[in-house]
Each structure stands twice: as C-alpha cells, then as structure tokens.
C-alpha cells in the first residue's frame, strides 16, 4: 500500500508570565505573514531539517520575541487537517512559566509586535491557538497540585501571602489559607527567615520566606500531592 504525505511539522510556545500586580499573562506575537496578517498568535513556526523539536521551539521563541527559557515542557500535539489554511501542519505545543520583567521583548522574523496579555483578556487569535492555550491552562492548573511552583516567579525572599496569591491566580479560585500554609510548610521546601517584610501602612510586619533550592527541585523531580 502506497502512502503519500505532505505534512509539515511546527512548534508553538505557550509562555505564561506572572507577577503579583498583573497576575497571569501569556506572551503573544502579531503576525507579519500573509496568513492571519496582523492577528495575534502564539510564538512558533516550522521545524527546520536536522533540528529537534526542543531546538525549534527555543529558536522560534527567541527569534520572534527575544525571550529565552531554559526549560519548556511538551504540552500536546495538535493536528486537525484544517488547522492551517495553507497546508497540512501538525504542531507540537510547549508551555513554560516565567517572570516577565526579566526579559526585554523584541519582535523579529515573522512577528511585527510582541506583548504580554492577561489570560482573561486575550485578543482574537490565529489558527487554533485558543484551543492550545486552553489546554495549557488546564495542564498548568493540574500540575501545581502535584509539583511546587514559585521559585522562578517570586523574589528571593517574599511574604507568604505572595505565594498564596500566586496559587490562587493560577488555580483561579480562593484557598483555605490556614490549611494551605500548613500543607506547604510540611514538605520542607519553604523556609521562614528572620527578616521582616516592609509595610507602608499600619500593621505588624510578618516574616519573609525563601525556597530551599535543594529540597524544592528534589520535590519537583519526584512529584508530590498537595491536595490543594
């Protein structure tokens, strides 16, 4: 049986940004190409010959946005025949979580602009990128119930309330604050320091916390169940 294929392979990157002021956001580019010209989309593109998927998504992200991330996790493969009006393209999507203010954005190659958008205020998107983002959000919400997050997103020392706010933002729901703190502290990857947070108004300043790097990355590797 003869099988004829004319399928191209692409990669797309769902990069979540977080800070305590703006909450959770997603990095998007404005397309310069004819297809969906001027429409916002995820950074990404076709995989080059002799290039791994990981190399391709790292390259595309850096070329189109100026952002470099050490680790992006593979999310899902999207391959509906009609997802790209030009030809048959199968896209392998990746996602990651970063602190936006450590990067200087720079649009280039197929992008005419690049910007962060709040997750709940996304513009109209090209291709099936709404679907890709929805899958990434579901994955992120599931992941933080069994793997600690925050080391890459919070300051070196921070009030515990900032960690609470991070989890509530990603989960998009309130937490039982007392139980949350008890559950987090029992795992040993968070340490209370003797330093106090600075308060502009009235009130007693609380102690700052920091991550125990060795324990944090050990638990990330092993996987734990927070039951948040």
pLDDT at 199 over 70: no
pLDDT at 213 over 60: yes
Q: What are phi and psi of 46, to 5 degrees?
A: -75, 145
pTM: 0.90
Whole-angstrom distance, CA of residue 17 vs CA of residue 118 = 9
Local structure of residue 151 (DSSP, 8 states): T
Residue-by-residue DSSP string for 94-148: EEEEE-GGG------TTEEEEEEEEGGG---BSTTHHHHHHHHHHHHHHHTTTS-
pLDDT at 12 over 60: yes
In the three-class reduction of DSSP (H, G, I as helix; E, B as strand; rest coil), residue 196 is classed as strand
Question: Average pLDDT of 188-206?
Answer: 80
In the three-class reduction of DSSP (H, G, I as helix; E, B as strand; rest coil), residue 88 is classed as coil
Residues 6 or more apart from 45 whose CB is under 8 A from it?
Answer: 10, 11, 56, 60, 64, 109, 110
Residue 203: the pLDDT is 59
Residue 135: the pLDDT is 97
- Average predicted confidence (pLDDT) for the chain: 91
pLDDT tens column, 113-169: 999 999 999 999 999 999 999 999 999 999 888 888 888 889 899 999 999 999 999
Residue 200: the pLDDT is 58
Residue 205: the pLDDT is 77
Whole-angstrom distance, CA of residue 228 vs CA of residue 222 = 18
Walk me through the domains of the chain, giving residue ranges and CATH numbers.
8-143 (3.90.79.10), 158-222 (1.10.10.10)
Residue 202: the pLDDT is 55
Residue 110: the pLDDT is 87
pLDDT at 3 over 80: no
pLDDT tens column, 14-66: 999 998 888 999 999 999 988 999 999 999 999 999 999 999 999 999 999 99
Sign of CA dihedral 72, 74, 77, 78: negative
Percent of the chain with pLDDT strictly greater than 90: 70
């Amino acid at each position: 049986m003869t099988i004829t294929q004319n399928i191209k392979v692409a990669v797309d990157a769902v990069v979540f940004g977080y800070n305590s002021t703006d909450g959770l956001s997603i990095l998007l580019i404005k397309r310069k190409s004819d297809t969906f010209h001027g429409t916002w989309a995820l950074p990404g593109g076709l995989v080059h010959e002799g290039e791994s998927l990981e190399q391709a998504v790292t390259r595309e992200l850096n070329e189109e946005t100026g952002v470099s991330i050490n680790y992006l996790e593979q999310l899902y493969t999207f391959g509906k025949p009609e997802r790209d009006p030009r030809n048959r393209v199968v896209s392998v999507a990746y996602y990651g979580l970063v602190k936006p203010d450590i990067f200087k954005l720079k649009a280039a190659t197929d992008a005419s602009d690049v910007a962060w958008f709040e997750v709940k205020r996304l513009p109209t998107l090209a291709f099936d990128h709404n679907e890709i983002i929805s899958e990434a959000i579901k994955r992120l919400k599931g992941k933080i119930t069994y793997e600690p997050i925050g080391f890459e997103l919070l300051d070196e020392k921070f009030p515990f309330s900032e960690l609470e706010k991070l989890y509530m933002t990603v989960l998009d729901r309130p937490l039982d604050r007392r139980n949350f703190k008890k559950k987090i502290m029992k795992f040993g990857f968070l340490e209370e320091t003797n330093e106090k947070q600075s308060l502009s108004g009235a009130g007693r300043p609380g102690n700052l916390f920091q991550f125990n790097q060795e324990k944090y990355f050990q638990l990330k590797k092993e996987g734990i169940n927070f039951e948040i």
